[in-house]
């Protein structure tokens, strides 16, 4: 039984999709949860309200993950409001696809700023807290496309591959302070982003999945809850694929 009672967590990108499922799962297991959002105000506040119904404290904080200053402010606010911080889940991400020979500089920069620099910003803000208390759980959400590449997604795949390298480095740097750092790499998960995919591309990806079905946000959230708990105290520097076998198909 995973028990997160008394723990305090931040989930970036918690207003939609996988982030919402993560926030709810952590709250269900007893953690106080703060989510950040950039523009989905009503959705973020609704998620926070659902978490509070589970008997925990919850916050919805408007913050741009690509802003170093916003990350510092949010971590400080959470520590002050909740009385501490033990779990950091970096999940916020975007895609802006295009083949590499047509990709605009803005496309590259925006995806890297949100998907990779955003993770640095929040981990960087949380690490001093974790080091000071000699305890912390960092779980970064990447993608199987960061492991294999994906046609038309050079910016996205580079950002997700960067997350994996960054997380493995943090695991080496922080392990002696009792801080676990791991990565979850989802495959095709039924989210708003996937719903917008062309049907032909969706069916092609679905055909890769050994289990023969789309993953659900809850499938990712369950693995993250494990990695955020003391049940995974001896797991660090790992990449756990939540993809129904898509990567090995």
- What is the pLDDT, as a whole number, of residue 183? 98
* Catalytic status, residue 156: yes
pLDDT in tens, 135-168: 999 999 999 999 999 999 999 999 999 999 999 9
Contacts of 59 (CB under 8 A, 6+ apart): 33, 34, 35, 48, 77, 78, 81, 82
Domain membership of residue 187 as a residue range = 8-242
Residue 162 half-sphere exposure, CB side, CA atoms within 13 Å? 16
Please indicate, yes or no, if residue 208 is contained in any of the structural domains.
yes
Task: Find the catalytic residue in 37, 119, 122, 156.
Answer: 156
Q: Which residues of the chain have pLDDT under 50?
A: none
Please indicate, yes or no, if residue 248 is contained in any of the structural domains.
no
Contacts of 149 (CB under 8 A, 6+ apart): 157
Please indicate, yes or no, if residue 1 is contained in any of the structural domains.
no
How many distinct structural domains can be found in the chain? 1
- What is the pLDDT, as a whole number, of residue 191? 86
CATH code of the domain covering residue 43: 3.40.50.720
- What is the pLDDT, as a whole number, of residue 249? 58
């Amino acid at each position: 039984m995973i028990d997160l009672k008394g723990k305090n967590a931040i989930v970036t990108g918690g207003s939609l999709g996988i982030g919402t499922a993560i926030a709810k799962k952590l709250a269900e297991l007893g953690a106080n949860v703060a989510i950040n959002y950039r523009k989905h105000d009503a959705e973020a506040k609704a998620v926070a309200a659902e978490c509070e119904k589970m008997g925990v404290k919850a916050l919805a904080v408007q913050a741009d993950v690509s802003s170093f200053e916003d990350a510092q402010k949010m971590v400080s606010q959470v520590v002050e409001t909740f009385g501490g911080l033990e779990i950091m889940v970096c999940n916020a991400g975007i895609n802006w696809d295009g083949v590499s020979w047509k990709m605009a500089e803005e496309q590259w920069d925006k995806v890297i700023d949100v998907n990779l620099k955003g993770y640095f910003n929040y981990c960087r803000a949380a690490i001093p807290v974790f080091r000071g208390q000699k305890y912390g759980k960092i779980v970064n959400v990447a993608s199987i496309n960061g492991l294999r590449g994906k046609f038309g997604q050079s910016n996205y795949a580079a950002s997700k591959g960067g997350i994996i390298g960054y997380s493995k480095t943090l695991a080496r740097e922080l392990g002696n302070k009792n801080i676990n750092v791991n990565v979850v790499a989802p495959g095709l998960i039924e989210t708003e982003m996937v719903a917008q995919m062309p049907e032909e591309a969706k069916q092609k990806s679905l055909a890769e999945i050994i289990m023969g079905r789309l993953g659900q946000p809850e499938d990712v959230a369950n693995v993250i809850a494990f990695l955020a708990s003391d049940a995974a105290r001896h797991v660090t520097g790992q990449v756990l694929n939540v993809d129904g076998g898509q990567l090995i198909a």
